[in-house]
A and B are shown apart, each in its own frame.
With several copies, the nearest count.
Chain A
Amino acid sequence: MVDELTDVLISKHHPMDKLLRQDRLPHIWCSGCGLGTVLTCFVSALEKLDLDMDQVVVVSGIGCTGRAAGYLNLDGFHTTHGRAIPFATGLKLGNPELKVVVISGDGDLMAIGGNHFIHAARRNMDLTVICVNNFNYGMTSGQLAPTTPTNARTSTSPYGNAEHPFNVPYLAAATGATYVARWTVLHVRRLERSIIEAMNKRGFSVVEVISPCPTYYGRWNKMGSALEQMKYYHDKSTIRHWSDPAQADIGLEGQIIVGRFVDIDKPTFCDLLQGADQ
């Protein structure tokens, strides 16, 4: 054994560090969790966006994903469980010049926060929502989420889930989102591109990212190593741009349809408000 890493240059800083809170790294996420990669893609997207980073705000709820706001060197708000979207709504309306991005988990956004999600979509509130779907509540150690596939096991569905899961893109589209995409965490380039598109969109834009939670969901469902899980989701996905999001259900097995599903133009809440006030 050697004491050295072959051919590697040892660094202290990463090129993306200026957008990161280095003093908080490494983050709390498990080895093999998809969340770090989502963050990498987000930062990479930020670097490509023509925005004043002082005007970009990230709002998270509570959950493993919800920690995202805490690692970004942007104005960041780690709110309460489920309330990222209404908090973000207040931020946006309080200062419409801000670019407000919500990054949170499937439980946070779809379970306790579901109502805010559909109402913000309905209003076409000018926000970007990145929903990391790991099919369970990671932070509280792997319980049932409203995205957990039927029959999947979790710590609170030990005999198999008796519920039908939400199809996030369909829910977003059906309630009014103007941009909707889904990728798995291994689709790094496409994911980055969708984040850029979503943030450039005026209106309620939603990017769902399918991401493994090897520590809980993967273990409960005997999905092998973290790496295997990531690969599994990637391999199961079929890119079908502009396909009907109603068809994009995710089961315990079977394919995962990914792609850009919706990209339409519609007046935002602020647009209509301005019209009404005059």
Chain B
Amino acid sequence: MGRRRVSNNGILQGSFFMDGDTACAEGAICAGCRFFGGYPITPATEIAERMARRLPQVGGTYIQMEDEIASISAVLGASWAGTRAMTATSGPGFSLMMENLGLGIITETPCVLVNVQRGGPSTGMPTLVGQGDMMQARWGSHGPYETIALSPGSPQELFDLTIRAFNLAEKYRTPVLVMTDEAVGHMTERVVIPPLEEIEYYARRKPQVPPNGYLPYRPDPDGVPPMACAGEGYRIHVTGLTHNEKGYPDTVSVETQQKLVERLIRKIRANQDDIIELREDQVEEADVVVVAYGISARTAARPVRMAREMGLKVGLLKLVTVWPFAEERIRELAPKVEGFVVPEINMGQIAQEVERCAGGQAQTILVPHAGGGLHHPNDVLEAIKRVTSPQSTSAETSP
């Protein structure tokens, strides 16, 4: 189990008929992930199972921890050992990870957390789909912070975005959340795995100075500090307390706190053009824009097509990156459109962000779904029609 036994042998290439969970695991392996610390939970278990089988084949380590708290803690530890690391869970486990997600954020630890969302709250509907953890992905840990969350709509996208998640994690030194769901995780489709050399790989940014000149939390101009890991001779100190650039705790200075927190937030917000990925379909000319993500963006394609067939000018704006939120784009579109329709498998989460950014210039219609199934195309179609029909009124983000 020597450290450098990280091999690229055993990496798949070609076309496969695999489910989203498996694709996620394979994406991680292609992205260079060599540590998985996890705990089984429906519908994310297949990721762990795949990793348990595959990691040893590529020189990585799988460990099933005693719970999700231990899982994320081990992932953070492994990342500080210089290994790309991830865990995967679903709602209940994600909730348990919230405290240590905060540790990952304040210590700026690159790693990937996958949440295969299921019906909630609580134990809810373990085997069925939900998108109820989207706001939790933004706000679930205590204190002020920013986060990156991606949302795939198919196994192929789950593969692709898992790779992107690892690269964003390294680039911005932060835990990145892949907010997928049961529908995608358990859906089997063709997944094409390109040759390894064609897969983007953002290598960890290392210090360019010797240990005695190194300040572990002195950022580069983009707000991200280069990262020395354990065992590299830098003698770093890493703490979850408010700390200065040296990494030393300073828990009584408002200035230290402000500098740290503002930078943690700024490094995401200031780089949002790089982080935010949107997919737009006929948005520019649209009267109505359907804003959706993940599986709901996919199911929305049908009603959008139906509406267009009815002669309505409807665009589809797919949030591949959900957090940071595509605030600017929505603000830009709001004066140009009549309304936004936001289908999500929850009772109104991202719709509230859309409504906020629409700033009253376009109405926002939530198409809620309590969970356990996908939107029926007609539900979204009705909402589209409601925007375009004259009697419709202002915002309705409540169910």
> Which residue numbers of A lie inside 8 Å of B, CB to CB?
21, 23-24, 54-55, 57, 59, 62, 69-70, 73-83, 86-98, 111-112, 114-116, 119, 137, 139-141, 143-144, 146, 155-159, 269-270, 273-274, 276-277
Which chain A residues lie closer than 8 Å to B78 at the CB level?
90-91, 93-94
CA of A31 to CA of B123, assembled, Å: 25
Additional A-B contacts beyond A23-B248, A78-B239, A115-B70 (7; CB < 8 A): A76-B238, A90-B81, A92-B81, A94-B35, A94-B83, A98-B230, A273-B1
The 10 nearest A-B residue pairs measured at CB? A90-B77, A94-B81, A94-B78, A90-B74, A86-B73, A95-B81, A86-B70, A94-B83, A78-B239, A90-B78
Contacts A158-B52, A274-B1; is A95 near B238 (CB within 8 Å)?
no
Q: Which residues of B contact A114 (CB under 8 A)?
A: 66
| CB pair B3 A97 closer than 8 Å | yes
B77 contacts A88, C-beta separation under 8 Å? yes
List residues of chain A with CB within 8 A of the CB of B37: 86, 89-90, 93
Docked-complex contact A270 and B1, CB < 8 angstroms? yes
Residues of B within 8 A of A144 (CB): 64
Task: Please name the residue on chain A nearest to B241 by beta carbon.
Answer: A78
Instruction: Report yes or no: A156 in contact with B1, Cβ–Cβ below 8 A.
Output: no
Contact A83–B233 (Cβ < 8 Å): no
Q: Are A70's CB and B249's CB within 8 A?
A: yes
* Segment among B42-50, B168-176, B219-227, B374-382 that sits at the interface with chain A: B42-50
User: If A24-B248, A143-B64, A156-B49 touch, does A78 touch B3 (CB 8 Å cutoff)?
Assistant: no
Kindly identify which residue among B71, B85, B233, B241 contacts A54, using a CB–CB cutoff of 8 Å.
B233
Closest approach, in angstroms, between the C-beta of A175 and any C-beta of chain B?
A: 12
Q: Is the CB of A137 within 8 A of B40?
A: yes
The answer to whether A156 and B237 touch (CB under 8 A), given A86-B77, A88-B77, is no
Task: Check B276 for interface membership: any CB of A closer than 8 A.
Answer: no
Please determine whether A112 and B81 come into contact, CB atoms closer than 8 angstroms.
no
Scoring B42, B48, B122, B230 by chain A CB atoms within 10 A of each residue's CB, the highest score goes to: B230
Chain A residues with Cβ below 8 Å from B241 are 78
Chain B residues closer than 8 Å to A55, beta-carbon distance: 231
CA distance A92 to B45 in the complex (A): 24
Q: Which of B202-240 contact A (CB under 8 A)?
A: 229-240
- 27 pairs from A and B in contact (CB 8 Å cutoff): A62-B240, A69-B237, A75-B231, A78-B239, A79-B240, A80-B73, A86-B74, A86-B77, A87-B76, A89-B70, A93-B81, A94-B83, A95-B81, A95-B229, A96-B2, A98-B231, A111-B39, A116-B73, A143-B40, A155-B45, A156-B49, A158-B53, A159-B56, A273-B56, A273-B61, A276-B56, A277-B1
A81 proximity list for chain B (CB < 8 A)? 92, 123
Chain B residues with Cβ below 8 Å from A88 are 77
Q: Is A112 in contact with B239, judged by CB distance below 8 angstroms? A: no
Which residues of A lie under 8 Å from residue B85 when comparing CB positions?
A: 90, 94
- Cβ of A95 and Cβ of B82 under 8 Å apart? yes
Q: Which residue of A lies closest to B62 (CB)?
A: A156
B47 → chain A closest CB, angstroms:
11
| A79-B63 CB under 8 A given contacts A155-B52, A273-B1 | no
How distant is the Cα of A53 from the Cα of B195 in the complex, in angstroms?
Answer: 40
Chain B residue contacts of A141, Cβ below 8 A: 45
Total number of A-B contacts with CB less than 8 angstroms? 194
**Shortest beta-carbon distance from A203 to chain B in Å:** 15
Q: Quick one: which of B52, B103, B233 contacts A156, CB cutoff 8 A?
A: B52
**Shortest CB–CB separation between residue B244 and chain A, in angstroms?**
11
CA–CA, A75 to B232, complex, Å? 9
A83 to chain B, nearest CB (A): 4
Q: Which residue of B lies closest to A74 (CB)?
A: B235
Nearest CB on A from B116, distance (A): 12
Residues of B within 8 A of A277 (CB): 1, 56
Q: Which of B79, B80, B83, B241 has the most CB of A within 10 A?
A: B80
Contacts A94-B81, A140-B45 given: A78-B237 contact, CB under 8 Å? Answer: yes
**B99 CB-CB contact with A under 8 Å:** yes
Per the bound structure, the CA–CA distance linking A84 and B175 in Å amounts to: 19
A4 to B65, CA, bound (A): 52
Instruction: Compute how far the CA of A137 lies from the CA of B39 in the bound complex, rounded to whole angstroms.
Output: 11
The residue from B42, B61, B66 contacting A146, defined by CB atoms under 8 A apart: B66
Cβ contacts under 8 Å, A62 to chain B: 123, 240
With A74-B235, A80-B99, A277-B56 as contacts: A98 and B81 at CB distance below 8 Å: yes
Q: Which residues of chain B have C-beta atoms less than 8 A from A91's C-beta?
A: 77-78, 80-81, 230
Residues of chain B within 8 A of A115, CB atoms compared = 66-67, 70
In the complex, whether B179 has a CB less than 8 A from a CB of chain A is no
Mark B28-42 against chain A: 1 for CB-CB distance below 8 A, else 0.
000000010101111
**B272, CB-defined interface residue at 8 Å:** no
Q: What residues of chain A lie closer than 8 Å to B67, measured between beta carbons?
A: 82, 111-112, 115
B256 within 8 A of A: no
